[in-house]
Structure 1
Amino acid sequence: MDLRQLRHFITVAETLHFGRAAERLGMTQPPLSQSIMALERELGAVLFLRSKRVVSLTAFGRQWLDHVRPAVENIAALSDIAEQLKKGRAGRLALSFVSTADYSVLPKLVERYSSAFPEVELDLMEATSDVQVEALLDGKIHAGIVIAARSALPPTLEYRPLLTEPLVAAVPELWVESGQLDLTDGALEADQWMAKPLIIFPARVAPHFHELVVGFYRSKGYHPFIQQEAIQMQTIISLVSAGLGIALVPASLQHLARTGVRYIPIAGNVPVLETGLVWRKADDTPTLSTFIEIAAALNGEEQSAFMR
C-alpha cells in the first residue's frame, strides 16, 4: 500500500467511474484498475462493486474512505508544514523571563510575536536569571529574558539588550503620610531613606541586580540594612506594602499598582538596570531566529519610550 494507491482509491470513490477517474488522474484505465485490485488484495477486502454500467462502494469501502481521505490530506500537508517549520512560522518556542519583565518588555514582545506567528506554540515560564541560564545550558528552553551582567554569562550564550531603565524607590504609603519621608521636591534624597530597612533580591539568584543596589548605597556612604530578601518582585512589593521596608525597583514596575505602596523617583545620579535576551549560540531553531528579530525591533521602541 502506498500513497499513489490511496489517491487512486479516493478518486474512483469520488467519481464512481474508472474511466473518469483515470482521466482526472492523468493515466489510462487499465493501470488504474490494476492498482485498485492490488490494493484490495493487500487489504483482503473488496472496495468496489463493479458491473458493466455501475461502480459503487462496498460497505467496507465507504467506511474506509472516511479514514483514508483525512490521512492523505495530512500527508499532502507535510511539505507545507516542513516549509513553515524551516521559516520559523510553526513549531515551538520555550521562553523564560524574570518577574520584572512582566511589567516592561514581556507583554508587548509576546503580543507582537504571537500576532506575527500565530501557529507557533509559545511556552512561557517565569524564573530567576540563574535558573534561566542553567535551563539554557541544559537545552530546556530556547531563550530567556534576564537581568545579568553580559560579562558574567557563559561563553556559549549570546546576549542582546532589550531595555535599560532607571531604578525608583518603592516605599510604604504610610511612611509618606506620616512624614517619615520628605517629598517636597518630588524625589528622595539619600539621607531620607538609605538608613531605613531594605527589601532586595538575594545575591545568589540575582547577583547583578543585588550588586547594583548595594553598590549604589556604598557610593553614597551607606551600608544597607537588609530587612528581607525575596526572589519575586511581586513578593517584594507586597512586603513594602506591609511596611517592612523600602525597595529599589525598575521604573517599569510602576505598572504594578499595589495598595499601600508609593513609587518615588530617586534624586541625583540614579542607577540603571538592563534587561536582556539570552540564548545559546549553537541553537539554530527557526522559531528562535524569528523571535530574536522581533525582539531586536522592539528594543529600539522601548528605549525611545523611556527617553520621552
Structure 2
Amino acid sequence: MSKELSYTIEEVSQLLKVSKLTLYDLVKKGELPVFRVGRQMRIDAKDLDIYINSQKTNQSKKLQAPELELKRNITKDSYNIVISGQDMVLDILGKHIEKNSPYKPLRSYTGSLNSLISMYNGEYDIVSLHMFDGDTGEYNLPYIKKILVGYPYILLNLLSRKAGFYVKKGNPLNLASWTDLNRKDIKIINREKGSGARILLDEQLRIHGIPSRDIKGYENEESNHFSVASAVSSGKADVGVGIEKAAKIVGIDFVPLITERYDLVILKNPESEHLISVIKDILSSHRFQTEVHSLGDYDISQTGNIIYETY
C-alpha cells in the first residue's frame, strides 16, 4: 500500500485558516472527501489539493475533471450527515445508522450550545444536548426555543444520566453541594464555553448567588469530560463538573448532584423526513437500547420518546 499524506480536520483547519465547522460543512455537502480511521476523520493530501485547485479563479476546466466529479458523486450518494456531541453512545448510534440506512454519519465533538447555533446555520444534522436552565429547572427545550427560531424541529430523548462533581478518591475535601465550590480551599477545573457541563455550572452558580470571579480555577478549561476527570485525578484541580461515566473510566470518585436529560434535536424538512424516521426506529429498537444499557450508568426509560415537536 502506498504511503500517502493525510490530515485531520483540525490540521486542515489550521492549514486553511478556517473553522472546523466550515470543513464539516464541506464534507457534509460532498465537496471535500474524507475517510475514517476509527472515530477520526482524515483527508487525503491529494484530495485537499484537488479541492484547493477547484476553488481558484479561472479553473473551471478543473472542476470538470472526471475523477473529481466521480469523488463528489460517490460522496453525495453516501448521504453524509454530521452528528454533534461527545458521549460514547453517539458512536453506537452512528454505527446503527450506518448499518440500517443509506446515511454515512460523521462526528463533531463540539459542545451543546455551539452545536445548536451551528444547526441554526445549517451545519449539523443531529445535535445532542444537555443544557440546564436554572429558571425552569428544565433541560434543553428553553435553549432550543430561543435559538431555533423559525425552524420546525423534533426533540427526541437519547438517555438520562447523572451529572455532578469529579473528586479525588475518598472525597477528602467532603464536597457535597454546589455551594462548596465557594470555599477558599477549593480549586476547580472548568469546561469550555458552550458545553453542557459549563452551562450547568454557570446556572448553578447563578442560582446560588456565587460570583464566578470568586471561584478559584474558574478560568482553567478542558474540552471534554475525560480531560476534566483526569485533571482531578492528577491533582491539577480538586473538583470538576461532568458525568458519572468518565469518573469511573478515569478511576476517581463521583458526587451525583443532578439527573440530566440528554436529547437529540433534528430540524424538520423534506430532506430530513427519512432521517428522522431512521433515528426514531433505532432509538426505540431493543438492540440499540440493550447495547446502551450494557454500558451502565445510563437511564434508557425515556429513550426514543418525543420530548417536543413543532410543525
Shorter-chain TM-score category?
0.5 to 0.7
Give CA deviations for 1:193-220 in whole Å, capped at 9, x if unaligned: 5332222224x413x5434334445667
Residue number in structure 1 paired with 2:190: 200
In the alignment, the residues of structure 2 paired with residue 189 and residue 132 of structure 1 have an alpha-carbon distance, to the nearest angstrom, of 31
Shift of 1:122: 2.1
Shift of 1:221: 7.6
Shift of 1:126: 1.7
Does structure 1 conserve the Cα–Cα contact (< 8 Å) formed by 2:289 and 2:300? no
1:271 aligns with 2:289: no
In the alignment, the residues of structure 2 paired with residue 132 and residue 214 of structure 1 have an alpha-carbon distance, to the nearest angstrom, of 18
Residue number in structure 1 paired with 2:3: none
Which residue identity does 2:240 align to in structure 1?
A: A
In the alignment, the residues of structure 2 paired with residue 240 and residue 165 of structure 1 have an alpha-carbon distance, to the nearest angstrom, of 20
Question: What SS does structure 2 have at the residue aligned with 1:282?
Answer: coil
Shift of 1:123: 1.8
Does structure 1 conserve the Cα–Cα contact (< 8 Å) formed by 2:228 and 2:240? yes
- Which one of the candidate residues 222, 242, 246 is aligned to 1:249? 242
In the alignment, the residues of structure 1 paired with residue 141 and residue 230 of structure 2 have an alpha-carbon distance, to the nearest angstrom, of 30
Which residue identity does 1:92 align to in structure 2?
A: Y
Between the two proteins, what is the percent identity of the paired residues? 12
Aligned length, in residue pairs: 200
Distance verdict in 2 for CA 1:168–1:160, change over 3 Å: same
In the alignment, the residues of structure 2 paired with residue 92 and residue 192 of structure 1 have an alpha-carbon distance, to the nearest angstrom, of 48
- Which one of the candidate residues 152, 161, 167 is aligned to 2:163? 167
Distance verdict in 2 for CA 1:121–1:96, change over 3 Å: closer
Residue number in structure 2 paired with 1:135: 118
Which residue identity does 2:105 align to in structure 1?
A: L
In the alignment, the residues of structure 1 paired with residue 272 and residue 216 of structure 2 have an alpha-carbon distance, to the nearest angstrom, of 43
Mean Cα displacement is larger for which, 296-305 or 233-242?
A: 296-305
Q: Which has the larger radius of gyration?
A: 1
Distance verdict in 2 for CA 1:252–1:234, change over 3 Å: closer
Q: Which stretches in structure 2 are left out of the alignment for 5+ residues?
A: 1-75, 132-139, 302-311
Shift of 1:262: 0.5
Does structure 1 conserve the Cα–Cα contact (< 8 Å) formed by 2:118 and 2:124? yes
In the alignment, the residues of structure 2 paired with residue 110 and residue 235 of structure 1 have an alpha-carbon distance, to the nearest angstrom, of 23
1:237 aligns with 2:226: no
Distance verdict in 2 for CA 1:191–1:247, change over 3 Å: closer
Give CA deviations for 1:276-302 in whole Å, capped at 9, x if unaligned: 111222253355224421354169765
Which residue identity does 1:159 align to in structure 2?
A: L
Coordinate RMSD, CA, aligned? 3.7
- Which one of the candidate residues 91, 95, 99 is aligned to 1:107? 91
Normalized per residue, the structure richer in helix is 1
In the alignment, the residues of structure 2 paired with residue 200 and residue 283 of structure 1 have an alpha-carbon distance, to the nearest angstrom, of 40
Q: TM-score, normalised by structure 2?
A: 0.52
In the alignment, the residues of structure 1 paired with residue 112 and residue 282 of structure 2 have an alpha-carbon distance, to the nearest angstrom, of 18
- Which one of the candidate residues 137, 151, 154 is aligned to 2:142? 151
Which residue identity does 1:282 align to in structure 2?
A: N
In the alignment, the residues of structure 2 paired with residue 191 and residue 107 of structure 1 have an alpha-carbon distance, to the nearest angstrom, of 31
Which residue identity does 2:223 align to in structure 1?
A: I
Distance verdict in 2 for CA 1:283–1:254, change over 3 Å: farther
Does structure 1 conserve the Cα–Cα contact (< 8 Å) formed by 2:97 and 2:279? no
Question: What SS does structure 2 have at the residue aligned with 1:265?
Answer: strand
Mean Cα displacement is larger for which, 217-226 or 127-136?
A: 217-226
1:210 aligns with 2:194: no
Give CA deviations for 1:19-62 in whole Å, capped at 9, x if unaligned: xxxxxxxxxxxxxxxxxxxxxxxxxxxxxxxxxxxxxxxxxxxx
Question: What SS does structure 2 have at the residue aligned with 1:248?
Answer: strand
In the alignment, the residues of structure 2 paired with residue 167 and residue 217 of structure 1 have an alpha-carbon distance, to the nearest angstrom, of 15
Does structure 2 conserve the Cα–Cα contact (< 8 Å) formed by 1:142 and 1:280? yes
